[in-house]
Chains A and B, each alone.
Chain A
């Protein structure tokens, strides 16, 4: 794969931003500035960054509750994401969503869905609408390996293939659904094989290598945009952190985590750059990112609280459809 220096910088910056942003989130969580469920994406950065890079602005994203990384990769400002985590009016969802419900109409980011597998039928419908309206756009649907056991996974893959819809399904296989390892949840642990059973063109990819992910996503999107129907990518990845901030991680060995950390997407990417003789100034990027994250926290701190009088605002939409 050819990689120009700007792209190299972009990939690195985005992955680092997710990493540092979420490290900060964990910190602020321990200071009780951020509450509720908080699911960190650390370790999985290469998947979101690689796939989302292959989308155009018109394409849509449907994500799960572990979506800070994808929201950042999509270009939703760190400020408004952090403000949402702080429950502030300046947050993307005016404090009504929180960590698990990030949305942006402008960036075509449709969740933030905390019901495992519920985003799949939604993405199918998004793609159906595009097909009916003859818009050449793709809906990217991200979900975890845990979603594969739900009926909606099967219903959605069937519909997408049956109707030849422009959806890119990306399963972020981080090996665990909370504390349950994939092998305890699935009779067939090769998830791409399941998708193939629905006659969807399916692939596995190294989810720790952003270049591999990016290459595969570009190919998939090209095929979808050529009208060839849905594609399925199973990205093999790993989360370095606990499932959520409440998780004592009793279900896996520390040594297993250490093993996977050797394949940290940031390290893997640095190695790839070396191989390709591309030199980027990582220190400079680190400085920039650190400032972005600090600014985001300051922005969230300075944010205002949505007035309680507005509690019932947005239950029903008045007037015309937005």
Chain B
């Protein structure tokens, strides 16, 4: 049975379900309790579950993320919320030097079943310190898993997937998605972590995107269809592990690739994907690969500048045409 709900509501329901079903699950972060979550995801949770399980923390990203790691290792299932990916860099040491490495350094003795959620992405005119898409950086780190839900179904499903996983899992929720509505079925089948999803089948060119840019890629595909170009659109879903198999299968079918990513080009996941296609499917390509990424600037505040910095549908359409013609 399907309903129409927001992305926010989907995340909220998933956390709510987890809190109900497993006593070990708790939510911790800045303003998750009395305030209701900076994106209102945990509104009402404090009243329902109490301050022992909905923990308002002081402003100390490193401290409470580290505490999440300790609690996870000691038998709990913490969900740590970091307001915005930019602030997660204050906890970078804990995430990169501890959470990702502990299982390995201990020779397999200590799991870190920790879930960290954070908002990412621009488009809300928040300036350079609140707008960047830095999930690709985390995808660089062995030992971490990096999820980027684009759809309402995934916004719901990925919380559960992350909690079931014995490894540290980071979930990046694009801030502009929270108010988006879509069909939701609690019982819908769930694709595993590490699996990409062919969202739209096509035969001429493969679009590779995640998060909010999946929606932009789909929009571009609809426009291109009118021009007789049949784009296949893949939702990467998981940046680490990255689903080589699905990507290469699509390249073998369309022989053309365009990556859409709100991160900058230099040293990004889009660069990684290009390198992998080069390694695994170079001779399948009929044209040079292309990508639509953000301009290499700290995000500006002014709306027109910010929009100009980010990938847009018309740019995707134009770039796709160029790839088709080359």
* Per-residue contact bits, chain B 94-121, to A (CB 8 Å; 1 contact, 0 not): 1001100011111111110100000000
Question: Which residue of B108, B142, B167 contacts A94 across the interface (Cβ within 8 Å)?
Answer: B108
Question: Which residue of B66, B75, B78 contacts A133 across the interface (Cβ within 8 Å)?
Answer: B75
Given A92-B107, A122-B70, A129-B73, 19 extra CB contacts under 8 A: A96-B104, A96-B106, A104-B109, A110-B73, A120-B66, A121-B64, A121-B65, A121-B66, A125-B68, A125-B74, A127-B70, A129-B75, A129-B76, A155-B60, A156-B67, A159-B64, A316-B167, A318-B166, A322-B110
CA distance in complex: A62, B180 (Å): 44
Whether A159 pairs with B75 at a CB distance below 8 angstroms is: no
Whether A103 pairs with B105 at a CB distance below 8 angstroms is: yes
The CB with the most chain A CB atoms within 10 A, among B62, B66, B166, is that of B66
User: Which residues of A from 114 to 152 have beta carbons under 8 Å from B?
Assistant: 115, 118, 120-130, 132-133, 139, 151-152
Whether B103 pairs with A118 at a CB distance below 8 angstroms is: no
- Across the interface, which residues of B come within 8 angstroms of A122, CB to CB? 66-67, 69-70, 73, 94, 98
- Asked if A112 is at the interface of the complex by the 8 Å CB criterion, the answer is yes
Whether A97 pairs with B107 at a CB distance below 8 angstroms is: yes
- Across the interface, which residues of B come within 8 angstroms of A95, CB to CB? 107
Question: Which residue of B24, B57, B94, B167 contacts A118 across the interface (Cβ within 8 Å)?
Answer: B94
Cβ of A238 to closest chain B Cβ, rounded Å = 29
CA distance in complex: A105, B60 (Å): 28
Q: Mark B residues whose CB is within 8 Å of A.
A: 24, 26, 52-53, 57-58, 60, 62-76, 78, 93-94, 97-98, 102-111, 113, 142-143, 145, 166-167
Closest partner residue, chain A, to B106 (CB atom): A103
Whether B105 pairs with A93 at a CB distance below 8 angstroms is: yes
- Asked if A308 is at the interface of the complex by the 8 Å CB criterion, the answer is no
Closest partner residue, chain A, to B78 (CB atom): A125
Whether B106 pairs with A97 at a CB distance below 8 angstroms is: yes
- Across the interface, which residues of A come within 8 angstroms of B52, CB to CB? 132
Cβ of A199 to closest chain B Cβ, rounded Å = 14
- Across the interface, which residues of A come within 8 angstroms of B97, CB to CB? 115, 118
Whether B98 pairs with A316 at a CB distance below 8 angstroms is: no
- Asked if A307 is at the interface of the complex by the 8 Å CB criterion, the answer is no
Whether B71 pairs with A126 at a CB distance below 8 angstroms is: yes
Cβ of B145 to closest chain A Cβ, rounded Å = 8
Question: Which residue of B58, B66, B68, B94 contacts A158 across the interface (Cβ within 8 Å)?
Answer: B58
Question: Which residue of B65, B111, B145 contacts A321 across the interface (Cβ within 8 Å)?
Answer: B111
Q: Which 8 A-B pairs have the closest CB atoms?
A: A125-B70, A121-B66, A155-B63, A125-B67, A94-B107, A129-B74, A155-B60, A93-B107
Cβ of A57 to closest chain B Cβ, rounded Å = 15
Instruction: Tell me the dominant secondary structure on chain A's binding face.
Output: mixed
Whether B105 pairs with A96 at a CB distance below 8 angstroms is: yes
Question: Which residue of B58, B69, B108, B142 contacts A121 across the interface (Cβ within 8 Å)?
Answer: B69
Q: From known contacts A121-B66, A316-B143, A317-B111, infer whether A132 and B76 are also in contact, taking CB-CB under 8 Å.
A: yes
CA distance in complex: A150, B53 (Å): 28
Closest partner residue, chain B, to A159 (CB atom): B63
- Across the interface, which residues of B come within 8 angstroms of A156, CB to CB? 63, 66-67
Question: Which residue of A96, A115, A316 contacts B93 across the interface (Cβ within 8 Å)?
Answer: A115
Cβ of B187 to closest chain A Cβ, rounded Å = 24
- Asked if A170 is at the interface of the complex by the 8 Å CB criterion, the answer is no
Q: From known contacts A130-B74, A162-B58, A315-B143, infer whether A124 and B66 are also in contact, taking CB-CB under 8 Å.
A: yes
CA distance in complex: A93, B73 (Å): 16
Cβ of A177 to closest chain B Cβ, rounded Å = 17
Cβ of B57 to closest chain A Cβ, rounded Å = 7
Whether A118 pairs with B107 at a CB distance below 8 angstroms is: no
Cβ of A87 to closest chain B Cβ, rounded Å = 12
- Asked if A320 is at the interface of the complex by the 8 Å CB criterion, the answer is yes
Closest partner residue, chain A, to B144 (CB atom): A316
- Across the interface, which residues of B come within 8 angstroms of A319, CB to CB? 166
Whether A126 pairs with B63 at a CB distance below 8 angstroms is: no
CA distance in complex: A118, B296 (Å): 33
CA distance in complex: A313, B71 (Å): 24
Cβ of B272 to closest chain A Cβ, rounded Å = 17
Whether B143 pairs with A125 at a CB distance below 8 angstroms is: no
Whether B70 pairs with A159 at a CB distance below 8 angstroms is: no
- Across the interface, which residues of A come within 8 angstroms of B94, CB to CB? 118, 121-122
29 A/B residue pairs, CB under 8 Å, sorted by A:
A91-B107, A93-B106, A93-B107, A97-B107, A101-B105, A101-B106, A103-B107, A103-B109, A111-B102, A111-B106, A115-B97, A121-B63, A121-B66, A122-B70, A125-B71, A126-B71, A126-B73, A128-B70, A128-B76, A129-B75, A133-B75, A151-B60, A159-B64, A314-B106, A315-B103, A315-B142, A316-B145, A317-B111, A320-B166
Q: From known contacts A124-B70, A159-B58, infer whether A317 and B105 are also in contact, taking CB-CB under 8 Å.
A: no
CA distance in complex: A320, B24 (Å): 15
Whether A317 pairs with B167 at a CB distance below 8 angstroms is: yes
CA distance in complex: A318, B65 (Å): 23
CA distance in complex: A58, B24 (Å): 19
CA distance in complex: A125, B72 (Å): 8
- Asked if A14 is at the interface of the complex by the 8 Å CB criterion, the answer is no
CA distance in complex: A110, B106 (Å): 9
- Asked if A60 is at the interface of the complex by the 8 Å CB criterion, the answer is yes
Whether A129 pairs with B106 at a CB distance below 8 angstroms is: no
Q: From known contacts A93-B105, A113-B98, infer whether A125 and B58 are also in contact, taking CB-CB under 8 Å.
A: no
- Across the interface, which residues of B come within 8 angstroms of A96, CB to CB? 104-107
Whether B103 pairs with A316 at a CB distance below 8 angstroms is: yes
Question: Which residue of A103, A120, A123, A133 contacts B110 across the interface (Cβ within 8 Å)?
Answer: A103
* Per-residue contact bits, chain A 291-322, to B (CB 8 Å; 1 contact, 0 not): 00000000000000000000001111111111
Cβ of A15 to closest chain B Cβ, rounded Å = 27
CA distance in complex: A290, B76 (Å): 42
- Across the interface, which residues of A come within 8 angstroms of B110, CB to CB? 103, 105, 110, 322
